[in-house]
Structure 1
Amino acid sequence: MLPYFTEENSVETVNARMSEGANPRLVQVMSALVKHLHAFAKEIELSQSEWEVAIDFLTRTGQICSPERQEFILLSDTLGLSMLVDAINNRRPAGATENTVLGPFHVAGAPEREMGASICLDGKGESCLFEGRVLDLNGNPIEGARVDVWSDNAEGFYDVQQPDIQPKWNNRGIFTTGADGHYRFVGIKPVSYPIPDDGPVGQMLAHLGRHPYRPAHMHYIVTAPGYEKLVTHTFVGEDEYLDSDTVFGVKNTLIAPYERLQDGLAEWRSPFDFVLVQENTSAER
Protein backbone atom coordinates (compact mmCIF):
# COMPACT_ATOMS: atom_id res chain seq x y z
CA MET A 1 0.00 0.00 0.00
CA LEU A 2 1.30 3.44 -0.93
CA PRO A 3 2.14 5.75 1.98
CA TYR A 4 0.08 8.81 2.73
CA PHE A 5 1.56 12.14 1.74
CA THR A 6 4.15 13.62 4.13
CA GLU A 7 6.72 16.37 3.81
CA GLU A 8 9.50 13.78 3.74
CA ASN A 9 8.02 11.43 1.11
CA SER A 10 6.18 14.00 -1.01
CA VAL A 11 8.05 13.30 -4.26
CA GLU A 12 7.78 9.53 -4.04
CA THR A 13 4.09 9.65 -3.14
CA VAL A 14 3.11 11.97 -6.01
CA ASN A 15 5.21 10.19 -8.64
CA ALA A 16 3.88 6.78 -7.58
CA ARG A 17 0.38 7.82 -8.71
CA MET A 18 1.40 7.84 -12.38
CA SER A 19 0.03 4.94 -14.37
CA GLU A 20 2.35 2.31 -15.82
CA GLY A 21 0.49 2.75 -19.09
CA ALA A 22 1.28 6.47 -19.38
CA ASN A 23 3.57 7.74 -22.11
CA PRO A 24 7.16 7.01 -20.93
CA ARG A 25 8.49 10.42 -21.95
CA LEU A 26 5.60 12.16 -20.21
CA VAL A 27 6.33 10.17 -17.05
CA GLN A 28 10.02 11.09 -17.26
CA VAL A 29 9.25 14.80 -17.71
CA MET A 30 6.57 14.99 -15.01
CA SER A 31 8.58 12.94 -12.49
CA ALA A 32 11.51 15.31 -12.86
CA LEU A 33 9.21 18.33 -12.64
CA VAL A 34 7.67 17.08 -9.39
CA LYS A 35 11.10 16.25 -7.97
CA HIS A 36 12.58 19.67 -8.65
CA LEU A 37 9.42 21.63 -7.82
CA HIS A 38 9.13 19.97 -4.42
CA ALA A 39 12.86 20.43 -3.79
CA PHE A 40 12.47 24.14 -4.57
CA ALA A 41 9.58 24.53 -2.11
CA LYS A 42 11.49 22.66 0.60
CA GLU A 43 14.75 24.57 0.04
CA ILE A 44 13.17 28.00 0.47
CA GLU A 45 10.45 26.82 2.89
CA LEU A 46 7.74 28.37 0.74
CA SER A 47 5.14 30.15 2.85
CA GLN A 48 1.38 29.94 2.25
CA SER A 49 1.21 33.65 1.39
CA GLU A 50 4.10 33.33 -1.07
CA TRP A 51 2.37 30.37 -2.72
CA GLU A 52 -0.80 32.46 -3.06
CA VAL A 53 1.19 35.29 -4.67
CA ALA A 54 2.64 32.78 -7.14
CA ILE A 55 -0.80 31.41 -8.02
CA ASP A 56 -2.11 34.95 -8.55
CA PHE A 57 0.90 35.79 -10.73
CA LEU A 58 0.38 32.75 -12.93
CA THR A 59 -3.36 33.43 -13.15
CA ARG A 60 -2.79 37.01 -14.29
CA THR A 61 -0.12 35.84 -16.74
CA GLY A 62 -2.67 33.55 -18.38
CA GLN A 63 -5.41 36.18 -18.37
CA ILE A 64 -3.32 38.71 -20.33
CA CYS A 65 -2.48 36.21 -23.08
CA SER A 66 -4.17 36.74 -26.45
CA PRO A 67 -3.55 35.85 -30.11
CA GLU A 68 -1.33 38.93 -30.28
CA ARG A 69 0.45 38.52 -26.94
CA GLN A 70 1.89 35.43 -25.24
CA GLU A 71 2.85 36.42 -21.71
CA PHE A 72 3.98 32.91 -20.77
CA ILE A 73 6.59 32.95 -23.54
CA LEU A 74 7.67 36.35 -22.26
CA LEU A 75 8.02 34.81 -18.79
CA SER A 76 10.06 31.93 -20.21
CA ASP A 77 12.25 34.42 -22.09
CA THR A 78 12.98 36.62 -19.09
CA LEU A 79 13.80 33.63 -16.88
CA GLY A 80 16.34 32.40 -19.44
CA LEU A 81 14.40 29.19 -20.07
CA SER A 82 13.73 29.96 -23.74
CA MET A 83 17.44 30.43 -24.41
CA LEU A 84 18.31 27.26 -22.48
CA VAL A 85 15.84 25.17 -24.50
CA ASP A 86 17.18 26.77 -27.68
CA ALA A 87 20.77 25.94 -26.69
CA ILE A 88 19.94 22.31 -25.82
CA ASN A 89 18.21 21.81 -29.18
CA ASN A 90 20.75 23.61 -31.35
CA ARG A 91 24.18 22.28 -30.39
CA ARG A 92 26.47 22.83 -33.35
CA PRO A 93 30.09 22.16 -34.31
CA ALA A 94 32.71 24.85 -33.82
CA GLY A 95 32.65 27.41 -36.60
CA ALA A 96 28.92 27.19 -37.26
CA THR A 97 26.77 30.24 -36.64
CA GLU A 98 24.99 30.05 -33.31
CA ASN A 99 21.24 30.09 -32.80
CA THR A 100 19.31 32.46 -30.60
CA VAL A 101 15.62 32.92 -29.76
CA LEU A 102 13.09 33.45 -32.54
CA GLY A 103 11.20 36.20 -30.75
CA PRO A 104 7.47 36.88 -31.03
CA PHE A 105 7.42 39.09 -34.12
CA HIS A 106 8.30 36.79 -37.02
CA VAL A 107 5.58 36.68 -39.68
CA ALA A 108 5.40 33.91 -42.27
CA GLY A 109 4.94 34.86 -45.91
CA ALA A 110 7.15 37.96 -46.08
CA PRO A 111 7.70 39.17 -49.65
CA GLU A 112 10.49 37.74 -51.76
CA ARG A 113 12.72 40.66 -52.74
CA GLU A 114 15.42 41.16 -55.33
CA MET A 115 18.95 40.92 -54.03
CA GLY A 116 20.10 44.34 -52.84
CA ALA A 117 16.58 45.71 -52.41
CA SER A 118 15.50 47.84 -49.45
CA ILE A 119 13.17 46.38 -46.82
CA CYS A 120 12.52 49.78 -45.21
CA LEU A 121 9.13 51.00 -46.43
CA ASP A 122 8.50 53.95 -44.10
CA GLY A 123 11.69 55.86 -44.93
CA LYS A 124 12.61 56.31 -41.27
CA GLY A 125 15.83 55.50 -39.44
CA GLU A 126 19.49 55.37 -40.38
CA SER A 127 19.89 53.30 -43.53
CA CYS A 128 22.19 50.29 -43.33
CA LEU A 129 23.59 47.90 -45.92
CA PHE A 130 23.54 44.31 -44.64
CA GLU A 131 25.64 41.90 -46.65
CA GLY A 132 27.69 38.74 -46.39
CA ARG A 133 27.75 35.13 -47.49
CA VAL A 134 25.99 31.91 -46.56
CA LEU A 135 28.64 29.20 -46.29
CA ASP A 136 29.09 25.59 -45.23
CA LEU A 137 31.58 24.50 -42.57
CA ASN A 138 34.30 24.18 -45.20
CA GLY A 139 33.84 27.77 -46.38
CA ASN A 140 32.03 26.85 -49.59
CA PRO A 141 29.19 29.14 -50.71
CA ILE A 142 25.66 27.75 -50.50
CA GLU A 143 23.47 28.47 -53.49
CA GLY A 144 19.72 28.72 -53.03
CA ALA A 145 19.81 29.66 -49.34
CA ARG A 146 16.77 31.64 -48.26
CA VAL A 147 17.55 34.53 -45.94
CA ASP A 148 14.39 35.69 -44.13
CA VAL A 149 15.04 39.00 -42.33
CA TRP A 150 13.06 41.36 -40.09
CA SER A 151 13.69 44.17 -37.62
CA ASP A 152 12.02 46.91 -35.64
CA ASN A 153 11.64 50.42 -37.03
CA ALA A 154 13.40 53.58 -35.92
CA GLU A 155 11.04 53.93 -32.93
CA GLY A 156 11.64 50.37 -31.75
CA PHE A 157 8.38 48.81 -32.94
CA TYR A 158 7.70 45.97 -35.39
CA ASP A 159 5.10 46.49 -38.11
CA VAL A 160 2.69 44.01 -36.49
CA GLN A 161 2.72 46.13 -33.34
CA GLN A 162 1.61 49.19 -35.31
CA PRO A 163 -0.63 47.93 -38.13
CA ASP A 164 -2.32 51.33 -38.49
CA ILE A 165 0.96 53.25 -38.48
CA GLN A 166 3.60 51.22 -40.33
CA PRO A 167 3.24 49.84 -43.88
CA LYS A 168 2.61 46.10 -44.02
CA TRP A 169 5.88 44.17 -44.35
CA ASN A 170 7.91 47.16 -43.20
CA ASN A 171 11.50 46.05 -42.49
CA ARG A 172 10.86 42.49 -43.68
CA GLY A 173 11.89 40.49 -46.69
CA ILE A 174 13.28 37.23 -48.05
CA PHE A 175 16.38 36.99 -50.23
CA THR A 176 17.75 33.93 -52.06
CA THR A 177 21.47 33.45 -52.63
CA GLY A 178 23.04 32.73 -55.99
CA ALA A 179 26.04 30.56 -56.78
CA ASP A 180 28.37 32.85 -54.82
CA GLY A 181 26.30 32.44 -51.62
CA HIS A 182 26.12 36.20 -51.24
CA TYR A 183 23.21 38.07 -49.68
CA ARG A 184 22.72 41.83 -49.69
CA PHE A 185 19.88 44.14 -48.68
CA VAL A 186 19.26 47.60 -47.27
CA GLY A 187 17.42 48.09 -44.00
CA ILE A 188 17.91 50.40 -41.07
CA LYS A 189 20.37 50.29 -38.22
CA PRO A 190 18.16 48.63 -35.57
CA VAL A 191 17.47 50.31 -32.24
CA SER A 192 17.09 48.80 -28.77
CA TYR A 193 13.56 48.50 -27.40
CA PRO A 194 11.66 47.27 -24.33
CA ILE A 195 9.65 44.08 -24.32
CA PRO A 196 5.98 44.60 -23.33
CA ASP A 197 6.27 45.42 -19.63
CA ASP A 198 2.73 46.47 -18.71
CA GLY A 199 1.76 43.00 -17.45
CA PRO A 200 2.80 40.51 -14.76
CA VAL A 201 6.21 39.84 -16.33
CA GLY A 202 7.00 43.55 -16.43
CA GLN A 203 5.98 43.84 -12.79
CA MET A 204 8.26 40.92 -11.92
CA LEU A 205 11.19 42.58 -13.66
CA ALA A 206 10.55 45.85 -11.84
CA HIS A 207 10.44 44.10 -8.46
CA LEU A 208 13.74 42.39 -9.28
CA GLY A 209 15.38 45.66 -10.32
CA ARG A 210 15.73 44.46 -13.92
CA HIS A 211 15.13 46.58 -17.02
CA PRO A 212 12.92 45.30 -19.89
CA TYR A 213 15.23 46.21 -22.79
CA ARG A 214 16.60 44.18 -25.66
CA PRO A 215 19.77 45.39 -27.41
CA ALA A 216 19.41 46.44 -31.05
CA HIS A 217 19.42 43.49 -33.45
CA MET A 218 18.48 42.23 -36.91
CA HIS A 219 16.58 38.92 -37.10
CA TYR A 220 17.47 36.14 -39.53
CA ILE A 221 16.13 32.73 -40.46
CA VAL A 222 18.51 31.07 -42.92
CA THR A 223 17.48 27.83 -44.62
CA ALA A 224 18.92 25.74 -47.44
CA PRO A 225 18.17 22.21 -48.71
CA GLY A 226 20.28 19.66 -46.84
CA TYR A 227 21.23 22.05 -44.03
CA GLU A 228 19.93 22.68 -40.52
CA LYS A 229 17.65 25.68 -40.13
CA LEU A 230 19.37 28.65 -38.50
CA VAL A 231 17.35 31.06 -36.36
CA THR A 232 19.48 33.91 -35.11
CA HIS A 233 20.09 37.65 -34.67
CA THR A 234 23.04 39.90 -35.35
CA PHE A 235 23.51 42.51 -32.64
CA VAL A 236 24.69 46.09 -32.94
CA GLY A 237 28.11 46.37 -31.33
CA GLU A 238 28.46 49.02 -28.59
CA ASP A 239 24.75 48.80 -27.70
CA GLU A 240 24.29 49.66 -24.04
CA TYR A 241 22.15 46.57 -23.38
CA LEU A 242 24.44 43.92 -24.89
CA ASP A 243 25.50 42.59 -21.49
CA SER A 244 22.02 42.80 -19.94
CA ASP A 245 19.59 41.64 -22.64
CA THR A 246 16.38 40.97 -20.76
CA VAL A 247 15.84 37.67 -22.64
CA PHE A 248 19.53 36.59 -22.53
CA GLY A 249 19.72 36.27 -26.32
CA VAL A 250 23.17 37.80 -26.92
CA LYS A 251 26.13 35.61 -27.87
CA ASN A 252 29.57 37.05 -28.47
CA THR A 253 29.80 35.50 -31.94
CA LEU A 254 26.60 37.27 -33.00
CA ILE A 255 27.79 40.82 -32.32
CA ALA A 256 28.22 42.32 -35.77
CA PRO A 257 30.35 45.24 -36.92
CA TYR A 258 28.61 48.43 -38.02
CA GLU A 259 30.77 50.65 -40.19
CA ARG A 260 29.85 54.25 -40.97
CA LEU A 261 29.79 54.89 -44.74
CA GLN A 262 30.78 58.27 -46.12
CA ASP A 263 28.82 57.91 -49.34
CA GLY A 264 26.96 55.34 -51.36
CA LEU A 265 23.84 53.28 -50.86
CA ALA A 266 23.46 53.65 -47.08
CA GLU A 267 24.71 55.43 -43.96
CA TRP A 268 25.98 52.22 -42.39
CA ARG A 269 27.30 48.83 -43.47
CA SER A 270 27.07 45.62 -41.43
CA PRO A 271 28.93 42.62 -42.90
CA PHE A 272 28.23 39.15 -41.49
CA ASP A 273 28.70 35.61 -42.84
CA PHE A 274 26.38 32.77 -41.86
CA VAL A 275 27.83 29.27 -41.59
CA LEU A 276 25.31 26.44 -41.86
CA VAL A 277 25.61 22.84 -40.72
CA GLN A 278 24.59 19.91 -42.87
CA GLU A 279 21.62 17.98 -41.52
CA ASN A 280 22.56 15.26 -38.98
CA THR A 281 26.05 16.74 -38.48
CA SER A 282 25.22 18.19 -35.05
CA ALA A 283 23.53 14.97 -33.90
CA GLU A 284 26.69 13.00 -34.65
CA ARG A 285 28.82 15.07 -32.32
Structure 2
Amino acid sequence: MTGFFTEDNSAAAVNARIGEQADARLALVMSALVRHLHAFAKEVELTPAEWEAGIAFLTQTGQICSAERQEFILLSDTLGLSMLVDAINNRRPDGATENTVFGPFHVADAPVRAMGDTISLDGKGEPCRYQGRVLDMDGAPIAGASIDVWCDNADGFYDVQQPGIQPKWNNRGIFITGADGAYEFIGIKPVSYPIPDDGPVGRMLAALGRHPYRPAHMHYLVTAPGYQKLVTHTFVGGDPYLESDTVFGVKQSLVAPFEPDSTGRAAWHSPFDFVLVAEDSGKD
Protein backbone atom coordinates (compact mmCIF):
# COMPACT_ATOMS: atom_id res chain seq x y z
CA MET A 1 0.00 0.00 0.00
CA THR A 2 1.11 3.57 -0.65
CA GLY A 3 -0.47 4.88 2.55
CA PHE A 4 -1.95 8.31 2.86
CA PHE A 5 -1.42 11.01 0.23
CA THR A 6 1.78 13.00 0.79
CA GLU A 7 3.78 15.41 -1.32
CA ASP A 8 6.42 12.76 -1.91
CA ASN A 9 4.11 9.89 -2.90
CA SER A 10 1.34 11.94 -4.56
CA ALA A 11 1.42 10.31 -8.02
CA ALA A 12 1.71 6.79 -6.60
CA ALA A 13 -1.20 7.41 -4.24
CA VAL A 14 -3.45 8.54 -7.10
CA ASN A 15 -2.41 5.74 -9.47
CA ALA A 16 -2.99 3.12 -6.79
CA ARG A 17 -6.71 3.92 -7.05
CA ILE A 18 -6.89 2.70 -10.67
CA GLY A 19 -8.94 -0.49 -10.56
CA GLU A 20 -7.99 -3.80 -12.10
CA GLN A 21 -11.10 -3.66 -14.30
CA ALA A 22 -9.85 -0.50 -16.06
CA ASP A 23 -8.92 -0.88 -19.73
CA ALA A 24 -5.18 -1.59 -19.88
CA ARG A 25 -4.39 1.16 -22.39
CA LEU A 26 -6.47 3.71 -20.46
CA ALA A 27 -4.69 2.76 -17.23
CA LEU A 28 -1.29 3.15 -18.92
CA VAL A 29 -2.13 6.57 -20.39
CA MET A 30 -3.77 7.95 -17.25
CA SER A 31 -1.05 6.73 -14.87
CA ALA A 32 1.61 8.35 -17.05
CA LEU A 33 -0.43 11.56 -17.22
CA VAL A 34 -0.72 11.66 -13.42
CA ARG A 35 3.02 11.08 -12.96
CA HIS A 36 4.00 13.85 -15.35
CA LEU A 37 1.33 16.26 -14.10
CA HIS A 38 2.41 15.85 -10.50
CA ALA A 39 6.07 16.15 -11.50
CA PHE A 40 5.29 19.40 -13.31
CA ALA A 41 3.53 20.88 -10.27
CA LYS A 42 6.47 19.92 -8.04
CA GLU A 43 9.10 21.23 -10.47
CA VAL A 44 7.56 24.72 -10.70
CA GLU A 45 6.15 24.65 -7.12
CA LEU A 46 2.75 25.63 -8.46
CA THR A 47 0.92 28.17 -6.31
CA PRO A 48 -2.85 28.15 -5.59
CA ALA A 49 -3.24 31.38 -7.59
CA GLU A 50 -1.45 29.86 -10.58
CA TRP A 51 -3.52 26.67 -10.31
CA GLU A 52 -6.73 28.76 -10.26
CA ALA A 53 -5.52 30.76 -13.28
CA GLY A 54 -4.86 27.49 -15.13
CA ILE A 55 -8.33 26.18 -14.31
CA ALA A 56 -9.87 29.47 -15.48
CA PHE A 57 -7.87 29.29 -18.73
CA LEU A 58 -9.06 25.73 -19.46
CA THR A 59 -12.64 26.70 -18.59
CA GLN A 60 -12.55 29.65 -20.99
CA THR A 61 -10.99 27.44 -23.66
CA GLY A 62 -13.92 25.01 -23.39
CA GLN A 63 -16.53 27.78 -23.30
CA ILE A 64 -15.41 29.26 -26.63
CA CYS A 65 -15.56 25.89 -28.42
CA SER A 66 -18.41 25.37 -30.88
CA ALA A 67 -19.26 23.36 -33.98
CA GLU A 68 -17.25 25.92 -36.00
CA ARG A 69 -14.37 26.46 -33.59
CA GLN A 70 -12.28 23.98 -31.57
CA GLU A 71 -10.13 26.02 -29.21
CA PHE A 72 -8.67 22.93 -27.51
CA ILE A 73 -7.23 21.73 -30.83
CA LEU A 74 -5.84 25.24 -31.32
CA LEU A 75 -4.23 24.96 -27.88
CA SER A 76 -2.78 21.56 -28.76
CA ASP A 77 -1.47 22.97 -32.04
CA THR A 78 0.26 25.97 -30.48
CA LEU A 79 1.88 23.84 -27.77
CA GLY A 80 3.33 21.53 -30.43
CA LEU A 81 1.37 18.55 -29.14
CA SER A 82 -0.58 18.05 -32.37
CA MET A 83 2.63 17.88 -34.38
CA LEU A 84 4.22 15.51 -31.88
CA VAL A 85 1.27 13.10 -32.02
CA ASP A 86 1.35 13.34 -35.83
CA ALA A 87 5.09 12.61 -35.90
CA ILE A 88 4.80 9.61 -33.56
CA ASN A 89 2.04 8.07 -35.66
CA ASN A 90 3.47 8.83 -39.12
CA ARG A 91 7.07 7.65 -38.97
CA ARG A 92 8.20 6.97 -42.52
CA PRO A 93 11.40 5.76 -44.19
CA ASP A 94 13.88 8.18 -45.69
CA GLY A 95 12.76 9.35 -49.09
CA ALA A 96 9.03 9.28 -48.31
CA THR A 97 7.13 12.56 -48.17
CA GLU A 98 6.68 13.72 -44.61
CA ASN A 99 3.35 14.30 -42.90
CA THR A 100 2.25 17.48 -41.16
CA VAL A 101 -0.89 18.67 -39.37
CA PHE A 102 -4.26 18.32 -41.08
CA GLY A 103 -5.58 21.72 -40.03
CA PRO A 104 -9.20 22.69 -39.33
CA PHE A 105 -10.26 23.86 -42.80
CA HIS A 106 -10.48 20.68 -44.86
CA VAL A 107 -13.92 20.05 -46.40
CA ALA A 108 -14.89 16.58 -47.57
CA ASP A 109 -16.21 15.89 -51.06
CA ALA A 110 -14.58 18.78 -52.89
CA PRO A 111 -15.20 18.77 -56.66
CA VAL A 112 -13.15 16.37 -58.76
CA ARG A 113 -11.49 18.51 -61.40
CA ALA A 114 -9.70 17.79 -64.66
CA MET A 115 -5.92 17.94 -64.72
CA GLY A 116 -4.79 21.50 -65.36
CA ASP A 117 -8.01 23.08 -64.08
CA THR A 118 -8.03 26.25 -62.00
CA ILE A 119 -9.14 25.98 -58.37
CA SER A 120 -9.10 29.72 -57.63
CA LEU A 121 -12.62 31.01 -58.22
CA ASP A 122 -12.54 34.52 -56.74
CA GLY A 123 -10.04 36.04 -59.17
CA LYS A 124 -7.72 37.14 -56.38
CA GLY A 125 -4.05 36.40 -55.86
CA GLU A 126 -1.02 35.58 -57.96
CA PRO A 127 -1.72 32.54 -60.18
CA CYS A 128 0.56 29.58 -59.57
CA ARG A 129 0.92 26.34 -61.55
CA TYR A 130 1.35 23.34 -59.25
CA GLN A 131 2.83 20.30 -60.94
CA GLY A 132 4.54 17.03 -60.09
CA ARG A 133 4.05 13.29 -59.72
CA VAL A 134 2.84 10.78 -57.14
CA LEU A 135 5.45 8.02 -56.82
CA ASP A 136 6.13 4.90 -54.80
CA MET A 137 9.34 4.34 -52.83
CA ASP A 138 11.00 2.86 -55.92
CA GLY A 139 10.22 5.94 -58.00
CA ALA A 140 7.47 4.28 -60.04
CA PRO A 141 4.37 6.40 -60.80
CA ILE A 142 1.14 5.64 -58.94
CA ALA A 143 -2.00 5.67 -61.06
CA GLY A 144 -5.39 6.42 -59.52
CA ALA A 145 -4.00 8.51 -56.67
CA SER A 146 -6.40 11.13 -55.30
CA ILE A 147 -4.84 14.53 -54.60
CA ASP A 148 -7.19 16.67 -52.50
CA VAL A 149 -5.89 20.27 -52.33
CA TRP A 150 -6.97 23.40 -50.48
CA CYS A 151 -5.53 26.75 -49.41
CA ASP A 152 -6.43 30.25 -48.26
CA ASN A 153 -7.23 33.05 -50.67
CA ALA A 154 -5.13 36.15 -51.26
CA ASP A 155 -6.67 37.82 -48.21
CA GLY A 156 -5.58 34.97 -45.93
CA PHE A 157 -8.99 33.32 -45.42
CA TYR A 158 -10.37 29.91 -46.37
CA ASP A 159 -13.73 29.82 -48.12
CA VAL A 160 -15.44 28.26 -45.07
CA GLN A 161 -14.37 31.29 -43.03
CA GLN A 162 -16.15 33.63 -45.43
CA PRO A 163 -19.42 32.04 -46.57
CA GLY A 164 -21.26 34.40 -48.87
CA ILE A 165 -18.06 36.32 -49.55
CA GLN A 166 -15.93 33.67 -51.24
CA PRO A 167 -17.41 31.30 -53.82
CA LYS A 168 -18.10 27.81 -52.53
CA TRP A 169 -15.14 25.49 -53.14
CA ASN A 170 -12.80 28.42 -53.73
CA ASN A 171 -9.20 27.20 -53.82
CA ARG A 172 -10.23 23.55 -53.45
CA GLY A 173 -10.32 20.54 -55.72
CA ILE A 174 -9.51 16.86 -56.14
CA PHE A 175 -7.31 15.53 -58.95
CA ILE A 176 -6.88 11.87 -59.94
CA THR A 177 -3.59 10.74 -61.44
CA GLY A 178 -3.32 8.73 -64.62
CA ALA A 179 -0.78 6.05 -65.54
CA ASP A 180 2.09 8.55 -65.40
CA GLY A 181 1.26 9.53 -61.80
CA ALA A 182 1.36 13.20 -62.81
CA TYR A 183 -0.77 16.02 -61.47
CA GLU A 184 -1.13 19.66 -62.46
CA PHE A 185 -3.48 22.46 -61.51
CA ILE A 186 -3.62 26.24 -61.34
CA GLY A 187 -4.10 27.80 -57.93
CA ILE A 188 -2.64 30.88 -56.31
CA LYS A 189 0.58 31.49 -54.45
CA PRO A 190 -0.71 31.21 -50.86
CA VAL A 191 -0.19 33.91 -48.25
CA SER A 192 0.65 33.63 -44.56
CA TYR A 193 -2.22 34.21 -42.12
CA PRO A 194 -2.92 34.30 -38.37
CA ILE A 195 -4.77 31.53 -36.55
CA PRO A 196 -7.86 32.76 -34.64
CA ASP A 197 -6.30 34.74 -31.80
CA ASP A 198 -9.31 36.46 -30.23
CA GLY A 199 -9.74 33.79 -27.53
CA PRO A 200 -7.78 32.32 -24.62
CA VAL A 201 -5.17 30.71 -26.88
CA GLY A 202 -4.50 34.04 -28.55
CA ARG A 203 -4.14 35.69 -25.15
CA MET A 204 -1.72 32.94 -24.12
CA LEU A 205 0.41 33.53 -27.23
CA ALA A 206 0.49 37.28 -26.60
CA ALA A 207 1.49 36.75 -22.95
CA LEU A 208 4.35 34.51 -24.11
CA GLY A 209 5.53 37.03 -26.71
CA ARG A 210 4.58 34.70 -29.57
CA HIS A 211 2.92 35.67 -32.85
CA PRO A 212 -0.16 33.81 -34.20
CA TYR A 213 0.98 33.40 -37.82
CA ARG A 214 1.25 30.38 -40.08
CA PRO A 215 3.60 30.61 -43.08
CA ALA A 216 2.04 30.41 -46.54
CA HIS A 217 1.22 26.84 -47.60
CA MET A 218 -0.85 24.62 -49.86
CA HIS A 219 -2.62 21.66 -48.22
CA TYR A 220 -2.55 18.16 -49.71
CA LEU A 221 -4.36 14.96 -48.79
CA VAL A 222 -2.92 12.23 -51.03
CA THR A 223 -4.44 8.75 -51.02
CA ALA A 224 -4.07 5.69 -53.24
CA PRO A 225 -5.19 2.06 -52.85
CA GLY A 226 -2.47 0.04 -51.13
CA TYR A 227 -0.59 3.07 -49.79
CA GLN A 228 -0.49 4.94 -46.50
CA LYS A 229 -2.53 8.15 -46.43
CA LEU A 230 -0.43 11.29 -46.70
CA VAL A 231 -1.55 14.54 -45.03
CA THR A 232 0.92 17.30 -45.77
CA HIS A 233 1.56 20.87 -46.93
CA THR A 234 4.02 22.49 -49.27
CA PHE A 235 5.39 25.77 -47.93
CA VAL A 236 6.43 28.87 -49.81
CA GLY A 237 10.19 29.26 -49.57
CA GLY A 238 11.31 32.58 -48.13
CA ASP A 239 8.15 33.13 -46.08
CA PRO A 240 9.07 35.14 -42.95
CA TYR A 241 7.25 32.70 -40.65
CA LEU A 242 8.85 29.45 -41.86
CA GLU A 243 11.00 29.07 -38.75
CA SER A 244 8.36 30.33 -36.30
CA ASP A 245 5.14 28.67 -37.51
CA THR A 246 2.79 29.04 -34.57
CA VAL A 247 1.65 25.38 -34.88
CA PHE A 248 5.16 23.99 -35.63
CA GLY A 249 3.99 22.41 -38.90
CA VAL A 250 6.99 23.24 -41.12
CA LYS A 251 9.47 20.54 -42.11
CA GLN A 252 12.48 21.39 -44.25
CA SER A 253 11.60 18.75 -46.84
CA LEU A 254 8.21 20.39 -47.41
CA VAL A 255 9.55 23.84 -48.36
CA ALA A 256 8.81 23.93 -52.09
CA PRO A 257 10.25 26.06 -54.88
CA PHE A 258 8.08 28.87 -56.20
CA GLU A 259 9.69 30.19 -59.35
CA PRO A 260 8.50 32.21 -62.38
CA ASP A 261 6.36 30.05 -64.67
CA SER A 262 7.92 29.56 -68.09
CA THR A 263 4.68 28.40 -69.76
CA GLY A 264 2.89 31.73 -69.43
CA ARG A 265 -0.12 30.02 -67.83
CA ALA A 266 0.61 31.52 -64.42
CA ALA A 267 2.91 33.94 -62.65
CA TRP A 268 4.51 31.18 -60.56
CA HIS A 269 5.39 27.52 -60.89
CA SER A 270 5.72 25.16 -57.91
CA PRO A 271 6.97 21.63 -58.75
CA PHE A 272 6.76 18.95 -56.05
CA ASP A 273 6.67 15.14 -56.15
CA PHE A 274 4.87 13.11 -53.48
CA VAL A 275 6.39 9.76 -52.47
CA LEU A 276 3.98 7.32 -50.79
CA VAL A 277 4.73 4.32 -48.60
CA ALA A 278 2.99 0.99 -49.13
CA GLU A 279 0.48 0.05 -46.43
CA ASP A 280 2.17 -3.24 -45.69
CA SER A 281 5.64 -1.73 -45.24
CA GLY A 282 5.14 -1.00 -41.53
CA LYS A 283 6.41 2.08 -39.72
CA ASP A 284 10.11 2.72 -39.31
Q: CA deviation at 1:80?
A: 0.3
Q: Determine if contact 2:144/2:224 at 8 Å carries over to the other structure.
A: yes
The match for 1:243 is 243
The match for 1:206 is 206
Q: Determine if contact 2:132/2:272 at 8 Å carries over to the other structure.
A: yes
The match for 2:195 is 195
Output the amino acid matched with 2:182.
H
The match for 2:174 is 174
Q: CA deviation at 1:280?
A: 2.7
The match for 2:222 is 222
Counterpart-to-counterpart distance in 1, 2:261 and 2:270: 10
| CA deviations over 1:46-100 (Å, ceiling 9, x no partner) | 0000000000000000000000000000000000000000000000000000000
SS in 2 for 1:203: helix
Counterpart-to-counterpart distance in 1, 2:43 and 2:228: 41
Counterpart-to-counterpart distance in 1, 2:122 and 2:199: 30
1:276 aligns with 2:272: no
| Counterpart mapping for 1:79-90 below 5 A | 79-90=79-90
The match for 2:163 is 163
Q: Determine if contact 2:235/2:254 at 8 Å carries over to the other structure.
A: yes
SS in 1 for 2:183: strand
The match for 1:147 is 147
| CA deviations over 1:150-178 (Å, ceiling 9, x no partner) | 00000000000000200000000000000
Task: Name stretches of at least 5 consecutive residues in structure 1 with no aligned partner.
Answer: none
The match for 1:45 is 45
Q: CA deviation at 1:262?
A: 5.6
SS in 2 for 1:138: coil
SS in 2 for 1:280: helix
Identity across the alignment (%): 74
| CA deviations over 1:162-207 (Å, ceiling 9, x no partner) | 0020000000000000000000000000000000000000000000
Q: Determine if contact 2:129/2:261 at 8 Å carries over to the other structure.
A: no
Counterpart-to-counterpart distance in 1, 2:200 and 2:260: 40
C-alpha RMSD of matched pairs (Å) = 0.8
SS in 1 for 2:222: strand
Counterpart-to-counterpart distance in 1, 2:187 and 2:270: 10
The match for 1:109 is 109
1:185 aligns with 2:199: no
Counterpart-to-counterpart distance in 1, 2:41 and 2:257: 46
Q: Determine if contact 2:2/2:12 at 8 Å carries over to the other structure.
A: no
Counterpart-to-counterpart distance in 2, 1:2 and 1:211: 46
Output the amino acid matched with 1:230.
L
Q: Determine if contact 1:93/1:282 at 8 Å carries over to the other structure.
A: no
The match for 2:14 is 14
TM-score, scaled to structure 1: 0.98
TM-score, scaled to structure 2: 0.99
Counterpart-to-counterpart distance in 1, 2:11 and 2:246: 33
Q: Determine if contact 2:128/2:188 at 8 Å carries over to the other structure.
A: yes
Counterpart-to-counterpart distance in 2, 1:262 and 1:11: 63
Q: CA deviation at 1:261?
A: 2.5
Counterpart-to-counterpart distance in 2, 1:13 and 1:268: 61
The match for 2:59 is 59
SS in 2 for 1:222: strand
Q: Determine if contact 1:131/1:270 at 8 Å carries over to the other structure.
A: yes
The match for 2:122 is 122
SS in 2 for 1:114: coil
Q: Determine if contact 1:91/1:282 at 8 Å carries over to the other structure.
A: no
1:74 aligns with 2:74: yes
| Counterpart mapping for 1:258-277 below 5 A | 258-261=258-261, 264-277=264-277
Counterpart-to-counterpart distance in 1, 2:97 and 2:207: 35
Stretches of 4+ aligned residues off by more than 3 angstroms: none
- Aligned length in residues: 284
Q: CA deviation at 1:268?
A: 0.5
Q: CA deviation at 1:148?
A: 0.2
| CA deviations over 1:85-127 (Å, ceiling 9, x no partner) | 0000000000000000000000001000011100001011000
SS in 1 for 2:279: coil
